[in-house]
Structure 1
Amino acid sequence: MTLDPISRPPLSVELSEEEFLRWYWLKAELEAFARTIGVRASGSKQLLTARVAAALAGRLFEEPPPARRTQAKQLAAPLLHSTVIPVGQRSSQVVRAWMREHIGPEFHFDAAMREFFAESDGTKTMQDALDHFAATRHVGNKSIDSQFEYNRFTRAWHERHPDGSREQLLEEWRVYRNTPVDQRPIAGS
């Protein structure tokens, strides 16, 4: 990958919102900058980026409403195949232990399993959870959410360069992330 990189500007109040959004910023950079300009520095990288962009544009930022946590009763041992999963069940240690007992050490709460429990409507059982795990094992590459840009880049890079080294990957990642969004090639090419 040979791009003619433009130097990434430093984070400053002189940046326009548009210029700020053209660049990749580490969350730590955004947190530090937010504090220096008096912007709340907590939350996800996406939320922090939106706050900083609004501040640079001179707009008020309307905070999203806090996520409502359900106080639903959580499962406790002993669990059975017929145990109904309640609405609001978390990916708990009790559930993990039971799943590992029935599946083995390869069980983990990946996105498909976290989603299964998060979307439980009170009608699914632990047997349904076992079945879901089995059904989602060999589905191929699952999509990676946009906030995990490094992971997306890494997957695409490895698909294009199966014999590439870690050093090559990291060098291309540095070039990629230091290139404005509107001038980047396809991730990992």
Structure 2
Amino acid sequence: MTLPERPPLSPSLSGAEFRRWYWLKDELQAFARHLGLRATGSKESLADRLEAFLDGRPQPLPTPAPGRTADRLRPPLTIHTVIPAGHPCSQVLRAFFLNALGPGFRFDAPMREFFAANDGSATLAAALDHWHATRGAEPRPIGAQFELNRFSRQWHRDNPAGSRQDLLAAWQSHRSLPTDLRPANGTTP
């Protein structure tokens, strides 16, 4: 069986054909600029914008970014620091958490949800408590926009002794296929 090749990004693609393939964000941004579209936002919002353009539909409205610049936290931070509503998971916060929790800290789903749900009354002490309370929980589903992460998790389950090079080769093979020809479980045979 001959596998189809990924088409070049072009205005002649349909939205459905565009969505069949894996595209890097850099490719999507360059294509959006070429078409005169905004090239900002998440990879998913950029893909939504391009799909709408290719199908001749109105562009999705941009969603405002959370947290105004004036409300951003600045060092020094303490456990008593109140986190403004809508504050993003910033490098300033990452530095605080790395200092408090060590190199194992990351803004995982429970921490991102904590910040998204904050109404402006939470302190960094509450964020630290939330971090400790959510450790040891079962791995949660990885969002659709994190395709490589989802693939990697499944690949490591299926290939516990596999090397990084093996993973990367499997990922390259997987992402070169159109979505409708990929194995259902997300791994490459």
- Fold equivalence (TM over 0.5): yes
Instruction: Report how many aligned residue pairs link the two structures.
Output: 186
116-125 or 35-44, larger mean C-alpha shift:
116-125
1:114-152, Cα deviation, whole Å (9 max, x unpaired): 322332234544443332111111113232211111111
User: TM-score if structure 1 supplies the norm length?
Assistant: 0.79
* Separation of aligned partners in 1, 2:74 and 2:12: 52
Q: Distance in 2 between matches of 1:15 and 1:53?
A: 9
1:46 aligns with 2:63: no
Q: 1: CA distance between counterparts of 2:26 and 2:73?
A: 34
Pick from 136, 140, 144 the counterpart of residue 146 of structure 1.
Answer: 144
**C-alpha RMSD over aligned residues:** 2.9
Question: Structure 1 residues 120 and 169 mapped into 2: Cα distance closer, same or farther (>3 Å)?
Answer: same
Native 8 Å contact 2:67 2:85 kept in 1? no
1:84–1:122: 8 Å Cα contact kept in structure 2?
yes
**SS state of the match for residue 118, structure 2?**
coil
Q: How many Å separate the matches in 1 of 2:45 and 2:81?
A: 38
Distance of aligned partners of 1:158 and 1:101 in 2 relative to their CA distance in 1, 3 Å threshold: closer
Cα deviation, residue 56, structure 1: 1.5
1:12 Cα offset (Å): 1.6
1:5-154 matches, within 5 Å, as: 5-70=3-68, 71-72=70-71, 74=73, 77=76, 79-80=78-79, 85-91=83-89, 99=97, 102-154=100-152
Shift, 1:51, TM fit: 1.8
Supply the AA of the counterpart residue of 1:114.
R
Q: Which has the larger radius of gyration?
A: 1
Unaligned runs of 5+ in 1: none
Report the Cα distance in structure 2 between the residues aligned to 1:157 and 1:148, rounded to whole angstroms. Answer: 14
**How many percent of aligned residue pairs carry the same amino acid?**
48
TM-score, with normalisation over the residues of structure 2? 0.79
Q: Structure 2: which 5+ residue stretches go unaligned?
A: none
Displacement of 1:100:
5.1
